[in-house]
Amino acid sequence: MANSAKLILEDNTVLHGKSFGFEKGISGEVVFNTGMVGYTETLTDPSYKGEILTLTYPLIGNYGIPGQETELGMLKHFESEKIHVSGLIVADYSFEYSHWNAKQSLSEWLIKERIPAIYDIDTRYLTKTLREKGTMLGKIVFDDKDVPFYDPNKDNLVSLVSTNEKIIYGDKNSRYKVVLVDCGVKNNIIRCLVKRGIGVVRVPWDYDFNKEDADAVFLSNGPGDPKKCEATILNLKKALNGNRPIMGICLGNQLLALASGGDTYKLKYGHRSQNQPCIELGTKRCYITSQNHGFAIEEKSIPADWEPWFVNANDGTNEGIKHKTKPFFSVQFHPEASAGPQDTEFLFDKLLEIIKK
């Protein structure tokens, strides 16, 4: 029989549930994701560092967890080498799983990775609370062993998830090469670049990538407040004086805006899902995108030599920017998907086309 556990929010809301993960008290920022599938990829997304994740889809765990096969020196079915969420909240956990590629249950995986998880929670009520009041700090406790609240956004989370060394992917003799600034990069971003024949040089978040001999700079996704990445922003400011192509995704979008003189702000409850509609400005095209971010660009702050590129059809927030004359562009959503729709993967092709010019 599962042991009891509690989720306590900073507004004193208490929700009672049952444990199916590792039993230790933890604290973090409580957020929600409305995706129907992809919990394996979501839990290993470094952008969730410091978050207690609520999955709104009611049944979780029914297809288990895949094996540890590798590709390009990375885990093939995961977005990083470990789980990054601080805790997991679901409505109903499936103790029996079935999938041709499953090697273990979600519960077994969570316990191995020492991540607490609760089921039998009214996630509809919890999600409505977070939407109405905004994202809140919370904590999972067992046996009334209390832990203090922790605000992850006060820390430089990027420094905790970035690589500590330079890593090379793809053919070392590739005609085209990209230096990827790792702020918490998802594996599938690297896969999307390599499968297009691009060699990738992955460097730490605070590395001066300007000294790298590469055809383009790529700014990855990552967790937390972009303003904490002061070293990255300083390096970007130097890069913006040149003409080498720059592409950014998610946190990379925000960093590009900050480096150019723009501003960012914290969203009320963020965008975390696989069904965010984004309109490409100047066209009638609307793309369904995968997203995971709690901050956004203040569009009015974008300098005159930049322009908005995409906008969120739900709330009108910025979803991308591009320079008017130089080969610099970025998007707030995830064209690499994983999990989610692949409607915007063509943006990697756009980068390759720019490099070839």
Residues tagged active-site: 250, 334, 336
Q: Tokens 């400005």 map to which residue?
A: 281
Cβ contact 300:313 at 8 Å: no
Please report how many Cα atoms fall inside a 13 Å half-sphere around the Cα of residue 287, on the Cβ side. Answer: 25
What are the Cα distances from residue 112, in Å, to 1, 83, 266? 19, 10, 33
Helices (H) and strands (E) in the chain, counts: 8, 23
If one counts every other C-beta atom within 10 angstroms of the C-beta of residue 51, the result is 29
Q: Is 267 exposed, middle or buried (0-12, 13-18, 19+ CB in 10 A)?
A: middle
Residues 6+ apart with CB under 8 A from 125: 15
How far is Cα 59 from Cα 141, in angstroms, rounded to an integer?
Answer: 23
How far is Cα 127 from Cα 323, in angstroms, rounded to an integer?
Answer: 37
How far is Cα 153 from Cα 141, in angstroms, rounded to an integer?
Answer: 21
Q: Tokens 């029914």 map to which residue?
A: 62
How far is Cα 357 from Cα 351, in angstroms, rounded to an integer?
Answer: 10
